[in-house]
Chain A
Amino acid sequence: MSGVLHRHPRLRLGLLLGPPMLWLGVAYLGALAALFITALWTADGFTGNIQREWTLDNFKDVFSLEVYRTITIRTLLTAVAVTVIDAALAFPVALYMAKVASPRAQRLLVIAILTPLWASYLVKAYAWRGMFSADGPIAWLADPFGLSTPGYGLVATVVTLAYLWLPYMILPMYAGLERLPNSLLEASADLGAGARVTLRRVVLPVLFPAVVAGSIFTFSLTLGDYIAVKIVGGTNQMLGNVIYDNVLTGNNLPFAAAVSTIPVVIMLVYLAAVRRTGALDNL
């Protein structure tokens, strides 16, 4: 057995690749394809049983009804806002970690940024529910200034999601900046470039793939989120809520399947667009 494998590297490759490909290539991709097919079927409005008759009605509804257009745009804008906020916040933190902090402080900062990643997602969303509550710390801080907490709504949702995904942006940025040798920055300064020019022509090209890698997470995670919205978003709905409600309470799996093609298409276009930047190797 071992000898046969030794003489046939292709057989070795096949045996290694077979099981993971059966799982991801056949089962998982198959499930995604089946989802698309289900979107072309209908559900019996009364029992929720799926009827295998081909129709484009689900897609027509998704694209023509005002509600779903509003929700899609809201979800997309939230994802963009979360990504921009995270990138803007992560840059100074990553720059400080990589280029200013001492090696010891650097190690501690990495741990400090990593630790909350291990804390439960649900717990963190829940923590912000406490922060934004009517008699929580934000209301307490804002009160002396005559302000009040923004309460549960879109603002709270964006803040909470930006908070949740921030480490996914800081870590690739930090890794990118860390790899950038100081001598390169000094050379740029010696050759007469000011801070702004160096930032644009030396730092940014290194940072770009890192931001893209981070944004894949911030974007995808925001597009698919519906739990954080339920916890801090008040009555606001995202695409994820529409999908969830149609599957579990609305009993309309085909329609939910049609809605879920929206984030899939967005993410596939995004992944295809960023493949050239080499960001996928940084994940």
Chain B
Amino acid sequence: MTLSPLTRRLLALITGVALLVVYAPLMLVLLNSFNTSQSFAWPPTGLTTRWWQAAWESQGARAAIWTSVEVAVLATAIALVLGTMAALALQRFAFFGRDFVSLLIILPIALPGVVTGIALANAFTTMIGIELGFFTLVVSHATFCIVTVFNNAVARLRRLGGNLEEASMDLGAGTFRTFFKITLPMLRSSLLAGGLLAFALSFDEIIVTTFTVGQGIQTLPIWIYQNLFRPNQAPVVNVVAAALIVLSVVPIWIAQRLAGTDESVAAAH
């Protein structure tokens, strides 16, 4: 099938329009963070940095950011350990029930978030009798973060095969030595990518969070959500949203750097 010049131009046009639609709402949030109108009248009547200043001084937003970072760091750490273990087990061993295990790992993201949320909340409160709070939040976030680490690690292990590990074992290195000297360095950039994704997933999560957070703790998404419908808080919420859009470029940049080093590693082989 050769695409005619007309088709090519049409495809380019559709892609262009799609990108425009993808970025227009994000640009609107950025622009509105400078809009003098508190109700975001369009087109803006004037520009101001007042809201950015107000957001910078917002205690609630600051505290919420810290809570989110703490939860995301802990959830990512758990996901890194469990995800790597599961990836090694599934990629380096053949055993009965392998398909079931891999299905089990994707289940927390394949099932709707409300289901995971209510199931965990119910298990914590009515079954075990733990009060909802920071601990339950970290546990629930780690549950759906495992899969991102797992996916990245499995893809890498599949691509590299087990030859180097076998060689290491044949040369007399033990299980742990082989893991730390051979397997882990091979996995490093994929674990970084998976960990980054897990962090972002946890930092951003709201659906499971609303069920397992309990009273008194506010993550950043919860803070945004609770202030979203308050007219006098609207400009500050909008600034936080704008800041998050700007910050979302950072992980992309890191991921590109990681991909870059991978390519140079591949080229060196």
A contacts, CB < 8 Å to B: 2-3, 5-6, 9, 12-13, 16-17, 19-21, 23-25, 27-32, 34-35, 38, 50, 89, 92-93, 95-97, 99-100, 109, 111-116, 118-124, 126-131, 133, 135-137, 139-140, 163, 166, 185-186, 188-189, 193, 195, 198-199, 202-203, 216, 220-221, 223-227, 231, 239-240, 243-244, 247-248, 253, 256-257, 260, 263-264, 267, 271, 280, 283
| 14 A-B pairs whose Cβ atoms sit less than 8 Å apart in the complex | A9-B93, A13-B95, A25-B101, A116-B23, A119-B245, A126-B228, A126-B241, A131-B24, A220-B110, A220-B112, A226-B114, A240-B207, A267-B111, A280-B106
A99 pairs with B112, CB closer than 8 A: no
CB distance from B136 to the nearest CB of A (A): 11
Contact A115 B122 (CB under 8 A): no
Chain A residue, CB-CB nearest to B243: A123
A17-B85, A100-B11 known; A111-B123 Cβ under 8 A? no
**A43 CB, nearest partner CB in chain B, Å:** 10
Within 8 A of A (CB), among B153-185: 169, 174-177
| Residues of B239-269 whose CB lies within 8 A of A | 241, 244-245, 248-249, 251-252, 255-256
Contact B256 A224 (CB under 8 A): no
CA distance A202 to B176 in the complex (A): 47
Given known contacts A20-B105, A120-B204, A130-B25, A31 and B42 CB-to-CB distance under 8 angstroms: no
Q: Are B204's CB and A244's CB within 8 A?
A: no
Let me know if B245 and A123 touch, CB within 8 A: yes
In the assembled complex, the Cα of A95 lies from the Cα of B241 at a distance in Å of 32
Contact between chains at A97 and B21 (CB < 8 Å):
no
- The complex places the Cα of A248 from the Cα of B110 at a distance, in Å, of 24
Interface of B is mostly: helix
B233 within 8 A of A: no
Residues of A with C-beta under 8 A to B252: 111, 114-115, 118
Q: Is the CB of A122 within 8 A of B224?
A: yes
In the complex, the answer to whether A224 meets B89 with C-beta atoms within 8 Å is no
With A95-B11, A96-B11, A166-B22 as known contacts, state yes or no: A123 contacts B110, CB within 8 Å.
no
Per the 8 Å Cβ criterion, residues 86-133 of B in contact with A are 86, 88-89, 93, 95, 101-116, 118-123, 126-127
CB distance from A40 to the nearest CB of B (A): 13
Which residue of chain B lies nearest to A49 when distances are taken between CB atoms in the complex?
B126
Please provide the 6 A-B residue pairs with the shortest distance between their CB atoms, ordered closest to farther.
A224-B112, A2-B174, A127-B25, A198-B1, A31-B123, A118-B248
- Known contacts A116-B23, A120-B221, A135-B42; is-contact A243 B118 (Cβ 8 Å): yes
What CA separation (Å) do A109 and B112 show in the bound complex?
29
Interface centre among B82, B114, B177 (most CB of A within 10 A): B114
* Residue contact B43 to A119, C-beta cutoff 8 Å: no
Q: Is A127 a contact of B28 with CB atoms below 8 Å?
A: yes
Q: Smallest CB-CB separation from A139: which chain B residue?
A: B42
* Separation of A267 and B113 alpha carbons in the complex (Å): 12
* Residue contact A34 to B122, C-beta cutoff 8 Å: yes
A231, B228: Cβ atoms closer than 8 Å: yes
Distance in Å: Cβ of B221 to nearest Cβ of chain A: 5
Q: Given A28-B108, A29-B104, A38 and B126 touching (CB < 8 A)?
A: yes
Verify A35–B42 contact, CB threshold 8 A.
no
Residue of B nearest to A132 (CB): B25
Whether the pair A17, B101 counts as a contact (CB closer than 8 A) is yes
B207 to chain A, nearest CB (A): 6
Task: Specify which of B1, B26, B127, B143 is in contact with A202 (CB 8 Å cutoff).
Answer: B1
Contact B114 A244 (CB under 8 A): yes
Contacts of B63 in A (CB 8 A): none
Partner of B85, one of A2, A5, A20: A20
Chain B proximity of A21: nearest CB distance (Å): 7
Q: Do B25 and A23 touch (CB < 8 A)?
A: no
Q: B81 at the A/B interface (Cβ < 8 Å)?
A: yes
In the complex the two chains form, what is the Cα distance from A23 to B200 in whole Å? 21
B103 to chain A, nearest CB (A): 7
CB-nearest residue of chain B relative to A167? B22
B61 at the interface (CB under 8 A from A): no
CA–CA, A20 and B206, complex, Å: 24
Residue B40 is within 8 A (CB to CB) of chain A in the complex: yes
- Tell me which residues across on chain B come within 8 A of A95, comparing CB atoms: 11
Any A CB within 8 A of the CB of B2: yes
Query: Could you tell me the distance between the alpha carbons of A28 and B25 in the complex, rounded to whole angstroms?
Result: 37
Given contacts A122-B221, A126-B228, contact A23 B122 (CB under 8 A): no
Most chain A beta-carbon contacts within 10 A, residue among B22, B40, B225: B22
Is there an interface contact between A253 and B122, defined as CB atoms closer than 8 Å? yes
Contact between B175 and A97, CB atoms less than 8 A apart: no
Interfacial chain A residues near B106, Cβ < 8 Å: 280, 283
A119 touches B28 (CB 8 A): no
Interface contact B111-A263, CB-CB below 8 Å:
yes
Given contacts A24-B105, A247-B211, A263-B115, contact A120 B40 (CB under 8 A): no
